[in-house]
């Protein structure tokens, strides 16, 4: 997950929450991308903004873990760690 993806996800969550649209997530993320340029631009700050947006939402949040969910990427998706409403997994899911 990159810095721009984190910003896009947080804006999307806030948009859905503002209009009462439930969020359905298909999670397949190995983690945040620890590139030097991403770190300079503030990956931790933007990533934590995405986590904050997911915890503040009031609409139902359903996460389907498709394949991979490792490290910070797993923590950022609205699953068991962010009090999501429902989490399910495909048989090929690799928890990390």
Q: Where are the beta strands (DSSP E) in 1-96?
A: 23-29, 61-69, 86-89, 94-95
More confident residue, 46 or 83: 46
The pTM (predicted TM-score) of the whole model is 0.77
Mean pLDDT in residue range 29-54: 80
Reference 96, options 81, 83, 84; nearest CA is 81
| pLDDT score recorded for residue 91 | 84
Q: Which two tokens stand for residue 87?
A: 């989490």
């Amino acid at each position: 997950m990159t810095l721009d993806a984190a910003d896009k996800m947080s804006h999307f969550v806030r948009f859905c929450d503002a209009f009462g649209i439930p969020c359905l997530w298909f999670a397949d993320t190995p983690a945040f991308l620890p590139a030097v340029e991403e770190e300079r631009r503030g990956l931790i700050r933007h990533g934590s903004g995405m986590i904050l947006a997911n915890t503040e939402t009031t609409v139902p949040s359903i996460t389907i873990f498709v394949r991979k969910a490792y490290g910070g990427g797993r923590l950022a998706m609205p699953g068991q760690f962010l009090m999501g409403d429902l989490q399910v997994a495909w048989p090929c899911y690799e928890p990390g």
